[in-house]
Structure formats: structure tokens, C-alpha cells
Amino acid sequence: MTRVIKLSAANEEFTRRINELTNDMITLCEQCGICSTSCPVAEEMDIPPSEIMRLVQLGDEYVLETKAIWVCASCYTCTVRCPRGVDLSKVTEALRQIKLRTNMNYLDIDHIDPEELRNLPAIALVSAMRKYTG
């Protein structure tokens, strides 16, 4: 279904908030697509990394409802390759934080298999909880 995004002041507010959280020049992204093809988990995402950036540029809060921002593995490959010098990993983190700071958790800690928990190294648990819990 083709979406219609209404351009309004509310959109600018969202983009401005992301700008604040990242100190990043989001307006510089020219949508070349290098981030999408560099991303190791792009195929697991519902929208490609470049679209995450595009929706932020348009101020479309729909991006907060995507799976993509949680599939990101913070590998920084996009950051290292962006020809405009934009840091997409920071933008994606900001989007996660906006959701997590509403006191929600993406990771359901209570329902991890106890056997798993025993075998998982601390580094895995700490990093997962830092990224996925608010």
C-alpha cells in the first residue's frame, strides 16, 4: 500500500530530536546505498539501512516501528564506508534509545532458556542488555 507522509512541523521536530541525540549531519546523506550493501544483516531487516536514514530525514516516526533498527548489530561498517561521513550507527542507536527510554525492553530477559543463560558468556549478555533494554 503506497503510504502518504504529510510534511508538517511535527516531522521537523522528530528529525531535530535525532540530530540532538547524534550530533550528526543527517541532512548530508545523499541516499547512495553504500551502507545497505555494506551491512552484514541488511537482508534480515524489513527496510534497508539507507531507508532508516531516509525516514529520519523525512521526519517519519514510522521508522521507530520497524524491525530494522533492532536487527542492527552495531558493526560500524556503514560508518566506515559512508562517502558523506555520516554516522548511521549513531542514528540507529538514537532510534533505539527513543523507544527504550519509554521504559520498554526489546529483549525479554525472563524468557531466555536457563540452560542458554548458563552457557552464554557475560560479554554476550551485557552487550545484549545494554542494546535492548531501557
Interhelix angle 88-100/49-58, rounded to 10 degrees, is: 70
Do 45 and 70 meet the contact criterion of CB atoms below 8 Å apart? no
Choice between 10 and 127, CB closer to another protein: 127
Choice between 8 and 130, CB closer to another protein: 130
Amino acid at 123: I
Is 104 a binding residue for another protein by CB under 8 A? The answer is no
Residues 38-77 that bind another protein (CB under 8 A): 38, 40-44, 47-48, 50-51, 71, 73-77
Choice between 8 and 22, CB closer to another protein: 22
Q: Identify each DSSP E strand in 34-114 by its residue range.
A: none
Residue 66 DSSP one-character state: -
Do 70 and 52 meet the contact criterion of CB atoms below 8 Å apart? no
Is 114 a binding residue for another protein by CB under 8 A? The answer is no
Q: What are the counts of helices (DSSP H) followed by strands (DSSP E) for the chain? A: 8, 0
Residues that bind another protein (CB under 8 A): 20-23, 30-38, 40-44, 47-48, 50-51, 71, 73-77, 79-85, 87, 89-90, 93-94, 97, 107-108, 112, 119-128, 130-132
